[in-house]
Amino acid sequence: MQHGKYRFIAGFLIVPLALYAVFVIWPFVQAIYYSFTDWTGLSPDFAMVGFANYSRMLGDDVFWKSLQHSVIFALLLPLVTLGLALFFAFMLNVGGRRRKGAAITGVRGSGFYKIAYFFPQVLSIAIVALLFQFAYNPNDGVINGTLESIGFGDVRPNWLGDPNLALWCVMAVLLWSTVGFFVVLFSAGMASIPKDFYEAALLDGANRFTTFFRITLPLLWDTVQSGWVYMGILALGAEAFAVVQIMTVGPGGPDYSTSVLPLYVYQSAFRDANAAYATTIGVALLIVTLLFAAVVMRLGRRERLEY
């Protein structure tokens, strides 16, 4: 019976595992292989060059700038995004004042706020980037227009044209476009926590601050940890690439102040026609992503709480 059970399980797993190997694992293997060649991406001819691409990458100032910006995104974006999402979700589910028949409730209008926070998820990231590109326009953009209307007409920053501001402008767009998803995710998790826990804590004299750190956060920790990894991968991958590619000068400017690793991979492959070097940067991006996920999972490990 045991052998028959294992054959039955293997029969269901072999097809998805084969598809995963062909469409996920094999492209990674190919990328690592091509990183040791001089392949242009435009010709089937190439030759092995050993570690020449890696030596070039380690001496490439643009690569180090892009790596620095990607690491900043991976460290700060999850921290700020998840922090805001936890705060908003807590207020929408638990942070309201007592009402008749309900000691634990969210703020008034919480249903509307959930829809408003989630609305950016309905829009494509390309549309979001275009909208904020217009908003950041220094001449007739919404942001500088608002500053002028409230009496700060002399303050007209060149948001995306200033190397000291451009990266933070991009980060603000990524924050705005992703925080709503986690608000809804955490709200669903908080809704599953028994209200008796909060009521017992309030009867014991606990305030909202204490209930958040003693009840809500520990019981949501698995969701927060998964969200941290997911948000870090978004910050290191396609979301950051799309926003920088559409919004910034160059793109990646000014003076490479917004360049990130996914964008540099794209530029090396399609602008510079150097696919081998692009795959080398892609391998570095893969290592950074795996290290980020491993560190988050290791530091966030704690005893599982059940209720």
* CATH assignment of the domain containing 86: 1.10.3720.10
pLDDT at 101 over 60: no
pLDDT attached to residue 91: 85
pLDDT attached to residue 259: 94
pLDDT at 1 over 90: no
Q: What confidence tens digit (pLDDT) does each residue in 51-81 have?
A: 999 999 999 999 999 999 999 999 999 999 9
pLDDT attached to residue 171: 94
The three-state secondary structure class of 257 is coil
pLDDT category of residue 20 using cuts at 50, 70 and 90: very high
Cα dihedral angle (48, 51, 53, 59), rounded to 10 degrees? -160
pLDDT attached to residue 34: 93
The three-state secondary structure class of 205 is coil
Whether 50 maps to a domain, the answer reads: no
Whether 90 maps to a domain, the answer reads: yes
Whether 1 maps to a domain, the answer reads: no
Name the average pLDDT for the chain: 86
% of the chain exceeding 90 in pLDDT: 41
Q: DSSP alpha helices (H): ranges in the chain? A: 2-20, 26-34, 52-58, 61-93, 110-122, 125-135, 142-149, 166-191, 195-203, 208-211, 217-219, 221-236, 238-247, 261-266, 275-299
Q: Which domain holds residue 171?
A: 60-299
**Encoded amino acid at 5, one letter:** K
pLDDT attached to residue 2: 56
**Number of domains making up the chain:** 1
Of 69, 181, 37, nearest to 119 by C-alpha is: 181
Whether 223 maps to a domain, the answer reads: yes
Whether 76 maps to a domain, the answer reads: yes
Q: What confidence tens digit (pLDDT) does each residue in 204-253 have?
A: 777 778 888 888 888 888 889 888 998 988 889 888 999 999 999 888 88
- CB of 234 closer than 8 Å to CB of 255: no
Whether 102 maps to a domain, the answer reads: yes
Residues 6+ apart with CB under 8 A from 50: 36
% of the chain exceeding 70 in pLDDT: 93
Whether 4 maps to a domain, the answer reads: no
Taking CA atoms, 177 is separated from 110, 226, 249, in Å, by: 19, 18, 21
**Encoded amino acid at 268, one letter:** S
Whether 237 maps to a domain, the answer reads: yes
Peptide bond preceding 163 in cis form (omega within 30 of 0): no
Q: How many CA atoms lie within 13 A of 268 on its CB side?
A: 26
Which pTM was predicted? 0.87
- Kindly report the number of other CB atoms within 10 A of residue 181's CB atom: 19
What gap in Å lies between CA 105 and CA 93, rounded to an integer? 6
Q: What are phi and psi of 85, to 5 degrees?
A: -65, -40
pLDDT at 305 over 60: no
pLDDT at 279 over 70: yes
- Kindly report the number of other CB atoms within 10 A of residue 224's CB atom: 20
pLDDT category of residue 111 using cuts at 50, 70 and 90: confident
The answer to which of 89-98, 100-109, 137-146, 254-263 has the lowest mean pLDDT is 100-109
